[in-house]
Structure 1
Amino acid sequence: MELNMFNLSGFGGLVILALDIWAIISVINSSASTGSKVLWSLLIIFLPIVGFVIWLLAGPRANKRAF
């Protein structure tokens, strides 16, 4: 059995799922327009790895809360 971080059926798949959920929540909480939020969310859903990387580099940022 090969241990591969990017094996989508095992631990790597769970990591990718968690990162994609985090990215979608961040998109929803961002100050971007509704259309942009929908497009970013669809990109992340349909292209989980590539969509996450693109969002990480160029996506809308979440609103910062003041503590």
Structure 2
Amino acid sequence: MGIEVGGLLGLIWLIIVVWAIVKVAKSSASGLAKLLWIIALLVFPLVGLIAWFLFGPKG
């Protein structure tokens, strides 16, 4: 049962990170800001996602 739960949580986490990347790409931020946020989300998924929720582009 541990493998199935871990796989499901991993899939949910992947979906959240991909959603955040899409939201960054569609935001009105500058190109450089978008690139930096996407790199942060890919390199540091947990910290990058938390930082994006707190400080990322709104709207």
- TM superposition score category, shorter chain reference: 0.7 to 0.9
Structure number with larger C-alpha Rg: 1
SS at match of 1:13: helix
What are structure 2's unaligned runs of at least 5 residues? none
Which structure dedicates a bigger proportion of its chain to helix? 2
User: Could you report, residue by residue, the CA deviation over 1:6-54 in whole angstroms, capped at 9, with x for unpaired residues?
Assistant: x4xx112111110111100000111100000000000001111111111
Q: Residue in 1 aligned with 2:52?
A: 55
Picking from 7, 12, 15, the partner of 1:15 is: 12
Identity rate of aligned residues, in percent? 40
CA RMSD of aligned residues (A): 1.7
What are structure 1's unaligned runs of at least 5 residues? 63-67
Q: Residue in 2 aligned with 1:65?
A: none
More displaced 10-residue stretch of structure 1: 53-62 or 38-47: 53-62
TM-score by length of 1: 0.75
Which amino acid counterpart does residue 48 of structure 1 have in structure 2?
A: P
Distance 1:42 1:11 in 2: 24
